[in-house]
């Protein structure tokens, strides 16, 4: 049987921690930054945990057990 490859797009956008959580970058961080507060822009640097409803889909794409 051939190897099952992960989806390259998902691999670039999401990160799996050692405990099994899936992290993603926050949304709305790429443009119109002059209208956002300093506090909001600072928080864009941190990774955010994926919503529980999206775990099943992402685990298929990333081939995580």
Contact 62, 7 (CB under 8 A): yes
Please check whether residue 33 lies inside any domain of the structure. Answer: no
Please check whether residue 50 lies inside any domain of the structure. Answer: yes
Q: Mean pLDDT, consecutive 10-residue segments, the chain of 65 residues?
A: 86 92 93 94 94 92 82
Contact 23, 47 (CB under 8 A): yes
- Counted residue by residue, the chain has a size of 65
Q: What is the pLDDT of residue 3?
A: 82
Provide the domain limits for residue 17: 1-26+39-65
Number of folded domains that form the chain: 1
SS3 content of the chain, % helix, strand, coil (to 5): 40, 10, 50
Alpha-helical regions (H) of the chain: 8-13, 38-43, 55-62
Report d(CA 48, CA 29) in Å as an integer.
13
Please check whether residue 32 lies inside any domain of the structure. Answer: no
Q: What is the pLDDT of residue 15?
A: 93
Q: What is the pLDDT of residue 64?
A: 78
Q: Where residue 8 sits, what CATH number does that domain have? A: 4.10.410
């Amino acid at each position: 049987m051939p190897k099952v490859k992960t989806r390259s797009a998902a691999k670039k956008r999401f990160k799996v921690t050692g405990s099994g959580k899936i992290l993603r970058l926050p949304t709305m961080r790429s443009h119109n930054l002059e209208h956002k507060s300093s506090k909001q822009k600072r928080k864009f640097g941190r990774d955010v945990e994926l919503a529980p409803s999206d775990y099943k889909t992402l685990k298929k794409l990333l081939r995580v057990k």
